[in-house]
A and B are shown apart, each in its own frame.
Chain A
Amino acid sequence: MSERPGDADEREQAIGESGEPPVPDAESSPGSGEPAQAGAEVAGDGGGAGAAEAVAHPGVTETDAVQIPEAHEVDVPDDLRAEIEEIMGRYPQKRSASIPTLWAIQRRYGWCTPEGIRQGAAVMGVTAAYLESVASFYDLFHLSPAGHHRVLVCTNISCWMRGGDELLESFCAAAGADPEAAAHGGAVSADGEIYVSGFECLGACDLAPMASIDERYYGPLDGDDAEAAVASVKAGSEVLPEKAMAIRPAAGGPDGEPDAHVAG
């Protein structure tokens, strides 16, 4: 669901480098005749689901036996292997570790690199194609390089009513990212540092318009905040401390004051 133009090429290239056979994806799967956003998504899900089905029982089919990377063939950093093994131990069935494993890979490499996926697959004992098909389903996994910092700007109903679209543009301007691409699946800033994406409701409509910056929530934000936030992110300093969700009291209660941010 996080497909965007450019993904396929970069991925295929990257896959080629790692010597892994290409995996069906949104743009290259048969029947994805329509380049539109939704068309690609639909085709992507179709193609991906097929891939998922084909490997639904690793270790059972012959192809799987061939495709599961042999642990000794793949060079997995020790700490990553230990982390994934610890994750698998939490669940009655090791396959439940797919999403946490992908998180571990993305944390380590910045995105779900083909080599990272191969490493995760080798430790989990599933095919790389399986793990990639899972990754491609979820918006927060990146299958192509996605900057060092992530800014998700909500443009869903409540944020839209309060200027979410404009906030997204402000972040794009501040970061130097293409607003059109950011509104349709995400864009990396020209300097490769910051990934900016319009996003569905982040579950913080009380902060509207709001954004998630490196996994922390902030709001309500205006254009100046966007600029300040991008500057802080780049400088490595604390981001908008007074706008952090974490410090916000519940709305009502004995001290229920009109919200200074919105009552203006």
Chain B
Amino acid sequence: MSEGLETRVLFRHIDEPGLHEIGTYERLGGYTALRAAFKEREPGDLVSEFEASGLRGRGGAGFSMGKKASFLPQGDMAKYLCCNADESEPGTFKDRELMFKNPHGLVEGVAIGAMAAGATRAFIYIRGEYAEIADRLDAAVAEAYDAGYLGEDILGTGIDVHLVVHRGAGAYICGEETALLDSLEGKRGNPRLKPPFPAIQGLYDGPTLINNVETLMNLPNVVNNGADWFKGFGTEQSTGTKVVSVSGCVQRPGNYEVELGIPSRDIIYGLAGGPPEGREIKAWYPGGSSSPVLGPEELDLPYSFEAMADAGSMLGSGAIIVADETVSIPKMALRTARFYQHESCGKCSPCREGTNWTVKMLERVVRGEATPMDLDIVASVQENIIGHCLCVLGDAMAMPVGSMVRRWRAEFEEAIASARDAGPAPLDVEPAVMTPAGVGA
């Protein structure tokens, strides 16, 4: 299963022709885990196995999957499973490739997760932009119903799981789990106050398990091979493999599945080819655009939840965005901030106003209208957002932007000075752009 630096578990058959069809999927061993889970296992014992595997959420927060499932109350009430396929964190495109090429892998994972959680209704909330992926999922769900893997009395066990693919319509905030629930209930996607947590009171006020696509796709492997096998990959606190999306200034952008804990350098250089010949890495987001930005000094850190947290950042969604020496950090900060400004749902003032302010201040920096003192204001705005809102969308801007202003402050000051000296300039002029043909040229 190991191809050099890669360890392909979820990606084992990823480019097998026809994998998205049930016949091929079954021929390659698909749905054996579902059979075993439904026919031979008890929900409680599955949840314990998931917990023992150490599997942590792959959607951003890295919470123990089994533990979360164990929070759902026992008993005969309507419970739900929601698969978070919103995948809108900039830099992240792993769920897209997993779902498009292996939709049955997700259907099987969702069914097993639902059965373990005691949920009879499951939903895959997929971002609206992923229309061609959602079409694939719809087809796979229909095939699974026909084959008796979904629906009523699955494989004669008396257990029901109904699965609906629900398409969103373009809003990053709907990836936040409580906003996702509101959106799925047919409302505007505003986050809810927590507690109550969704495990207690979620969709339609019922206990709800929410997990990311990749998290759920790991379940069939855990069922088939056991928790100890799963723990054989990765580090003690970061078990298993991870599909890492690498993009930006690298020669081979794409998804690579690795054991958690391998050196970050191996992913960025060994697999993704590093920056174009002759250029150096200046900065990298280790876990999507919401993660505090790291520098070349951290390239040798293990790529694990704990090492990234110790370095003051996070593994997040497992998306590495690489910036080489030609990229202006102030402009990258502005690009980052604009995203959160656009996506803020506007419910909480610190986020709504803070993202807006940050964009305006960074525009002044890039235009040369700011003073170095303004950088202190940018930094303090970030501090005033963190921890003050219903959800962490605002924090997700404040962390990377704050990290950039702190770490590359000299470059921000230089940007102010040189833009001022150059006189008024249009805001969006970019210096070195890596056009596809231009990389390395």
Residues of A within 8 A of B (CB): 1-2, 38-39, 41-42, 44-46, 48-49, 52, 90-93, 95-100, 102-103, 133-134, 137-141, 152, 156-158, 160-163, 165-166, 183, 199-206, 208-209, 212, 215-217, 220-222, 245-246, 249-254, 256, 258-259, 261-264
Known: A163-B433, A250-B97. A38 touches B339 (CB 8 A): no
The residue of chain A having its C-beta at the shortest distance from the C-beta of B324 within the complex is A161
The residue of chain B having its C-beta at the shortest distance from the C-beta of A34 within the complex is B356
With the chains together, A90 CA to B151 CA distance in Å?
12
Q: In the complex, are the beta carbons of B252 and A251 less than 8 A apart? A: yes
Q: In the complex, are the beta carbons of A100 and B430 less than 8 A apart? A: no
Q: In the complex, are the beta carbons of B88 and A137 less than 8 A apart? A: no
* A-side contacts of B88, CB under 8 Å: 200-201, 203
Q: Can you give 20 A-B contacts (C-beta < 8 A)?
A: A45-B346, A52-B187, A96-B166, A99-B166, A100-B166, A138-B128, A138-B170, A139-B171, A162-B433, A162-B435, A162-B439, A163-B434, A200-B172, A203-B88, A246-B132, A251-B271, A253-B14, A256-B252, A262-B436, A264-B436
Q: In the complex, are the beta carbons of B342 and A222 less than 8 A apart? A: no
* B-side contacts of A222, CB under 8 Å: 435-437
**Considering the complex of A and B, which 5 residue pairs feature the smallest CB-CB distances, nearest first?**
A251-B254, A139-B170, A45-B346, A205-B247, A138-B169
Identify which of residues 227-272 in chain B touch chain A, using a CB-to-CB cut-off of 8 Å: 245-257, 271-272
Chain B contact-residue range equals: 35 or more
With the chains together, A59 CA to B3 CA distance in Å?
60
Query: Does B68 count as interface, using CB distance less than 8 angstroms?
Result: no
Contact of B129 among A39, A44, A52, A140 (CB under 8 A): A140
Contact of B434 among A161, A165, A245 (CB under 8 A): A161
The residue of chain B having its C-beta at the shortest distance from the C-beta of A138 within the complex is B169
* A-side contacts of B252, CB under 8 Å: 251, 256, 258-259, 262-263
Q: In the complex, are the beta carbons of A203 and B273 less than 8 A apart? A: no
Q: In the complex, are the beta carbons of B90 and A158 less than 8 A apart? A: yes
Q: Please, what's the 1-or-0 string for B335-348, where 1 marks a CB less than 8 Å from any CB in chain A? A: 11001011111110
The residue of chain A having its C-beta at the shortest distance from the C-beta of B441 within the complex is A264
Contact of B248 among A139, A204, A205 (CB under 8 A): A205
With the chains together, A99 CA to B149 CA distance in Å?
27
With the chains together, A183 CA to B426 CA distance in Å?
14
Q: In the complex, are the beta carbons of B186 and A95 less than 8 A apart? A: yes
* A-side contacts of B440, CB under 8 Å: 262-264
Query: Does B93 count as interface, using CB distance less than 8 angstroms?
Result: yes
Identify which of residues 166-209 in chain B touch chain A, using a CB-to-CB cut-off of 8 Å: 166-172, 183-190, 204
Query: Does B352 count as interface, using CB distance less than 8 angstroms?
Result: yes
* A-side contacts of B204, CB under 8 Å: 92-93
Q: In the complex, are the beta carbons of A263 and B132 less than 8 A apart? A: no
Contact of B132 among A137, A138, A216 (CB under 8 A): A216
With the chains together, A259 CA to B251 CA distance in Å?
7
Query: Does B58 count as interface, using CB distance less than 8 angstroms?
Result: no
Given contacts A199-B129, A202-B129, A256-B252, 15 further A-B contacts (CB under 8 A): A1-B343, A42-B352, A46-B346, A96-B166, A96-B186, A98-B186, A133-B188, A139-B170, A157-B321, A161-B323, A162-B435, A206-B93, A220-B436, A259-B251, A263-B439
* B-side contacts of A256, CB under 8 Å: 3, 252, 271
